[in-house]
Amino acid sequence: MRITSLLQPVLFTLAVAGAPALAGAAEHLVTIAPDVNGAWVTPDGAWDGRTVLFLHGFADDMDGAGDLSKRMSARLAQMGIASLRVNFRGEGDRKRSDIESTLQSRIEDTEAAYAFVTRQPGVQPARSAVLGWSLGATTAIITGGRHPQWFRSMVLWSSPSGDQWVQMASSPTAQKALREGVATDDVAGWKRITTKRAFYESFRGVNLDQSLVNYPGAFLTIRGSNDFLPQGDAQMLKLVPGKPAEAALIGGADHIFNVFQKNGGAAQRVMDLTADWLARTL
């Protein structure tokens, strides 16, 4: 995976006006840590303490492409499951083009988000899950490996795999940032993005395979057959020690599950698979 490939297809930060309200749920905008905010969503009805932490992708925000993460949050609330969707520091704004985050800051924000969740009345920490999309999946894997008792279940949408430094540092944009400290890339159909040396350097020595072997919980990875990322899902299933461990491939879907197509079939399939999985494993 080249960083230009990472940037160009990731159109999931395109704004969709008029995000739907969450039916059957109470959503509160919250401050998780300095410069880190998010949306805390609880079911209107009975709640048994199950909670899912949402981690967004590169240069995205907590609602996700086509508001898919927000829609998934609403679906979970209807199932009696609470959720926290996080906006990462230096990234969490669809309109933002100057990226100030690093992998380490993402992990720190995830740790702060988990601490926020565990402080909420009614939460059952032993019934917590994490859902990461793209670079959010990278963040979820590393956090799950560092804190193996935190998450009973993990769901990855369009996840990277393997050696992240080799993949992230290979493009001309990354090499310019590493050499000169900053680089700007005009991504067709999306926006102008500026990244810095620290962003790429933060992936040095990071191999997701090494984190996966330390995560003991239930594990599901979902991707489209047209995802630009390599399909490393079979290897992931061999590495994770926990059960159940499953992989789902959605035919004809891209990295963002065709969320901007009118029929919405692939995106609906992602939500159905995720809802079923979390109902079974939380």
Q: How far is CA 3 from CA 67, 160, 172, in A?
A: 24, 12, 8
250 and 183 in contact (C-beta within 8 Å)?
A: no
**Residue 134: its pLDDT value, please?**
96
Q: What is the dihedral of CA 252, 235, 126, 68, to 10 degrees?
A: -20
pLDDT in tens, 78-126: 999 999 999 999 998 777 888 999 999 999 999 999 999 999 999 999 9
Top-confidence residue, 25 or 221: 221
Mean pLDDT of the chain: 90
Quote the pTM value: 0.91
pLDDT tier at 18 (50, 70, 90 boundaries)?
A: very low
Query: Which residues, 6+ apart, have CB-to-CB distance to 98 below 8 Å?
Result: 194
State the Cα–Cα distance between residues 56 and 132, nearest whole angstrom: 6
210 burial type by CB count under 10 A (0-12 exposed, 13-18 middle, 19+ buried):
middle
State the Cα–Cα distance between residues 158 and 254, nearest whole angstrom: 9
Top-confidence residue, 150 or 168: 150
Q: Hey, what CATH class is 3-281 in?
A: alpha beta
Query: Which residues, 6+ apart, have CB-to-CB distance to 143 below 8 Å?
Result: 107, 110, 111, 114, 130, 150
**Residue 7: its pLDDT value, please?**
38
**Residue 19: its pLDDT value, please?**
42
State the Cα–Cα distance between residues 77 and 71, nearest whole angstrom: 10
Packing angle between helix 103-119 and helix 135-146, nearest 10 degrees? 70
pLDDT in tens, 178-212: 999 999 988 766 678 899 999 999 999 999 999 99
State the Cα–Cα distance between residues 93 and 27, nearest whole angstrom: 18
Question: Above 50 in pLDDT, residue 167?
Answer: yes
Kindly list the domain boundaries of the chain, sorted by start residue: 3-281
270 and 222 in contact (C-beta within 8 Å)?
A: yes
State the Cα–Cα distance between residues 144 and 141, nearest whole angstrom: 5
46 burial type by CB count under 10 A (0-12 exposed, 13-18 middle, 19+ buried):
exposed
**Residue 178: its pLDDT value, please?**
95
pLDDT in tens, 21-67: 455 679 999 999 999 999 999 999 889 999 999 999 998 999 999 99
Q: Hey, is 136 helix, strand or coil?
A: helix
Residue type, 235: Q
